[in-house]
Amino acid sequence: MALLKYDLTGKRFGRLTAIERKKGPRSVWVCQCDCGNMAEVDSSHLRSGATKSCGCWRKDQLEMRKAQHVGKRFGDTTVLRISPTSQELGRTELECLCGCGNTFTISAAKLSKRIRNNRPVQCRNCSRKISDDDVRFIREERARGASLAELVERFDVDPSYISLIARGLRR
């Protein structure tokens, strides 16, 4: 057997421990992951640090990101749990309890956007009410030439509602 250029036997790389080099021309190592899974990883990926687990690390990160809002309060709204519908929808939906007592679901992406844009996190009923400051802002922005789409994106409400506000037909 040719001398190994890199003998990784027993070495640890993140969650992985290299067990043995796979037979074959390519330098692939059979590794044991801390989670119990086995993984076959390219030697270069181990040494560069590109691969640190069987894939469970990334999965854990994803789960953590999904769960990061659970239990948090945004204004009067509390994020209760990840909705069971998430699985079938293929995206993270969060179940929330609004200050008014209604429960509602919102996608994690939408929630993040609202937080980023400083928009209230509320049920549909409550978020229809736009504050006086926002009404003023919408009218000013509209007068300055902001497009309806821009304002809808920012306020996350019906285009028709924005248009009514902008035209002064609604408070």
Check residue 37 for interaction with Zn ion (CB under 5 A). Answer: yes
- Between residues 8 and 123, which has the closer beta carbon with respect to Zn ion? 123
Check residue 97 for interaction with Zn ion (CB under 5 A). Answer: no
Q: Are 106 and 78 spatial neighbours (Cβ–Cβ below 8 Å)? A: no
Minimum distance of Zn ion from residue 39's CB (angstroms) = 7
- Between residues 98 and 151, which has the closer beta carbon with respect to Zn ion? 98
- Between residues 150 and 158, which has the closer beta carbon with respect to Zn ion? 158
Task: Give the Cα separation of 41 and 80 in Å (integer).
Answer: 39
Task: Give the Cα separation of 55 and 13 in Å (integer).
Answer: 13
* Strand residue runs (E) in the chain: 12-13, 16-21, 28-33, 38-42, 73-74, 77-82, 93-97, 103-107
Q: Are 134 and 127 spatial neighbours (Cβ–Cβ below 8 Å)? A: no
Check residue 16 for interaction with Zn ion (CB under 5 A). Answer: no
Candidates 12, 42, 45, 56; binder of Zn ion (CB under 5 A) is: 56
Task: Give the Cα separation of 88 and 61 in Å (integer).
Answer: 21
Task: Give the Cα separation of 48 and 163 in Å (integer).
Answer: 55
- Between residues 95 and 142, which has the closer beta carbon with respect to Zn ion? 95
Check residue 54 for interaction with Zn ion (CB under 5 A). Answer: yes
Check residue 62 for interaction with Zn ion (CB under 5 A). Answer: no
Minimum distance of Zn ion from residue 84's CB (angstroms) = 22
| Count of residues interacting with Zn ion (CB under 5 A) | 11
